[in-house]
Amino acid sequence: MLRASRVSMGYFKRPGRKSLDEICKLSLFEVSTPQQVATTWNNHHMQFLQYWGRTISSEAYYALEPRLKVSPYFVVPVFRDKGLFNVVTNFKDDLVGVAPLGEWQKKQDNAQIHMTIQFFTELARSKRLVLVRCEIKDEVFKRLDCIFITQMLLKYYTFPRLYETWVETFNKRPGQFDYHAFLRAMKDEAGKDEIKIEDKKSEMRHDAFGPVIDTPPDAVARQIMNTLDIGAPKA
């Protein structure tokens, strides 16, 4: 039912927009029950380090899609044993591109995408399901990062309080975005009680992924918003 993935980059294939028929035999999904589709899709993605898959209802997706369109950017911290680094997410046409904040700060929308999250809507009408697939390009991200980022995006774009407090503020009122309060909330989401979050950084520590705690993205949020209309930061 699901097609084998041909490896073209060592362990990893190049992520990017795909049709559902490139991944599975859509005709077989069409004659399956929604439960069979969900079970097959989720179980298939458990086999791979590069992918993670889940299903959501079409109603859930079409409720959060307008929010993804009007608030396309967000920042999610990725936790490591000794700290964290931030990533920027950008939604466009059913696809979320993910890049480390440090790379985005240098190249903005030309930054290299290291992970994608795609929403497949081909079965939304017939099965009332939207299939979600997270795909990792290289070793910048781990599979657990993929799961955490996808789950946090779904959660923070779905629940009104979380969306209005964090996502909408980040996109529309970046000067009011309280990065440190957000980071504490995300630390609790990840169960990282051992990581201490301070309002002022006394030193800049680095690991293999760059600064352990990146520049607080209140200024980055303004920079993101300045690129939306003209494609480059304003002076």
Q: What is the DSSP string of 146-209?
A: HHHHHHHHHHHHHSHHHIIIIIHHHHH-GGG--HHHHHHHHHHHHT-TTS---SS-S---EETT
Average pLDDT of the segment spanning 6-31: 64
**pLDDT at residue 215, rounded to an integer:** 38
In the chain, what percentage of residues exceed pLDDT 70?
73
**pLDDT at residue 7, rounded to an integer:** 33
Residue in 29, 7, 8 with CA at minimum distance from that of residue 20: 29
Measured at the alpha carbon of residue 207, what is the angle toward residues 205 and 208, in degrees to the nearest 5? 155
Torsion-angle region of 8 (φ positive above 0: left; ψ -120 to 50: alpha; else: beta): alpha
In the structure, what pLDDT confidence band is assigned to residue 234 with cuts at 50, 70 and 90? very low
Six-digit token string for 212: 């352990």
**pLDDT at residue 70, rounded to an integer:** 95
How far is C-alpha 45 from the geometric centre of its chain's CA atoms?
17
* pLDDT tens per residue, range 120-175: 999 999 999 999 998 888 777 888 888 889 888 988 998 889 999 999 999 999 88
Q: What is the pTM of this model?
A: 0.74
**For residues 57 and 146, what is the distance between their CA atoms, to the nearest angstrom?**
20
* pLDDT tens per residue, range 151-166: 889 889 988 899 999 9
**pLDDT at residue 14, rounded to an integer:** 45
